Amino acid sequence: MKNSKFNWLIVLVVPLFTLTFKHEPDDTANPKPPADECDTAMVTYTASVIPILQNNCYSCHAGTVPSGGLDLSNYEQLAFVAQNGSLMGAIKHEPGFTPMPDGLPKLSDCDINTLAK
């Protein structure tokens, strides 16, 4: 009879113990960055730069008559303004440059860092 009571005790205690002391995986080995963190490790022109330009620049600086004669959808023109510093000066709203996008807030730090990379 004692053995039967012991068996019932195990049947009741083991599930309770398992639920109480549930093992959580250790995420410290491969921590995930916060969702709002900007990752510029794998920046590419096609996947990273073009979407930023499409969302913020192409409405004025692309097409048949781009504003200021600057077509940022043209890689050569984009490379020219990037290399001479005027692209970063404009999007960072630095003194001496026309702040871009025109009449809108400065791009996010993540977008600026992506373009700088």
| Model pTM above 0.75 | no
What are the structural domain ranges in the chain?
45-116
Q: Nearest CA to 49 among 78, 7, 71?
A: 78
Give Cβ neighbours of residue 68 (< 8 Å, ≥ 6 apart).
Answer: 61
pLDDT digits (tens, 9 = 90+) for 37-75: 788 999 999 999 999 999 999 999 999 999 999 999 999
CA dihedral 49, 51, 53, 56 (to 10 degrees): -140
In angstroms, the CA 17 to CA 41 distance is 44
